[in-house]
Amino acid sequence: MKITKLISSAKLLERSTNYFKVVRHYCCPPGQEENVDSGKEQNVDSGRKGLVVGVYKCRDKLELTPIAQEINQKSGDKLAQHLNKLCGELTLGKAFTVTDVLPEYSAVAITCFGPKDAGYNVLESIDEARENIRWGVGAGVKLLKSRGCCYIEVDPAHAPDAAAEAAELAAWRFQMFKSKESRKNHCLVNMYGTEGKELWTLGSIYGEAQNWARCLSDMPANKMTPVDLAQAALDVLCPLGVTVEAHDREWIQAQRMRAFLAVARGSCDTPMFLECIYRSSAAPAAPVLLAAKGVTFDSGGLCLKDCKMMMDNRGSMAGAAVVLAALKIIATLKLPINVSAVIPICENMVSGQCMKVGDVVKALNGLSIEIENTDMEGRLMMADALVYGQTLFKPAMVIDVATFTHGVLMATGGGAFGCFSNSEKAWRAVHAAGVVTGDRPWRFPLWNYFHKQITNDPAVDLRNKGSGHGTPCLGAAFLKNFVCCDWVHMDITGVGKVTEWGAVPYLQPRRMSGRPARTLAMLLHQLAACSANHATQDQQPTPCAANA
Own/partner long-range contacts of 123-127 (Cβ < 8 Å, ≥24 apart): 125/431, 125/434, 125/435, 125/440, 126/434, 126/435, 126/438, 126/440, 127/435, 127/436, 127/438
Measure the CA–CA gap between 150 and 173, rounded to whole angstroms: 12
Q: DSSP string covering 374-410, please?
A: TT-HHHHHHHHHHHHHHHHH--SEEEEEE---HHHHH
Do 51 and 71 form a contact (C-beta atoms < 8 A)?
Answer: yes
Contact between residue 329 and residue 209 where contact means Cβ atoms under 8 Å apart: yes
d(CA 311, CA 334): 37
Greatest distance between any 2 Cα atoms in the chain: 81
> Is residue 379 flagged as an active site residue?
yes
List of residues 6+ apart from 245 with CB closer than 8 A = 2, 3, 4, 274, 275, 276
Give the integer Cα–Cα distance in Å for 62 and 84.
9
- Distance (Å, whole) CA 103 – CA 93: 26
Torsion region of 112: left, alpha or beta (phi above 0 gives left; psi -120 to 50 gives alpha): beta
Strands (E) in 165-324, as ranges, are 188-191, 243-247, 272-278, 288-292, 294-298
CA distance 379 to 330: 27
Q: Which of 24, 183, 223, 305 is catalytic?
A: 305
CA distance 174 to 513: 11
CA 68, 70, 74, 80 dihedral sign is: positive
3 state DSSP class of 483:
coil
Contact 288, 337 (CB under 8 A): yes
Cis omega (within 30 of 0) for bond into 516: yes
Burial class for 239, CB neighbours closer than 10 Å (0-12, 13-18, 19+): exposed
Give the active site residue among 130, 173, 379, 515.
379
Q: What is the DSSP string of 313-348?
A: GGGGGHHHHHHHHHHHHHHHHT-S--EEEEEEEEEE
Strands (E), 184-293: 188-191, 243-247, 272-278, 288-292
Torsion of CA 457, 458, 462, 464, to 10 degrees: -30
Sheet strands (E) in 158-218:
188-191
Closest Cα to residue 161, out of 193, 200, 218, 122?
A: 200
Respond yes or no: is residue 85 known to be catalytic.
no
| Contact (Cβ atoms closer than 8 angstroms) between residue 426 and residue 437 | no
By the 10 Å C-beta count (0-12 exposed, 13-18 middle, 19+ buried), 368 is classed as middle
As a whole number of angstroms, the distance between CA 44 and CA 42 comes to 6
Just list the catalytic residues.
Answer: 305, 379
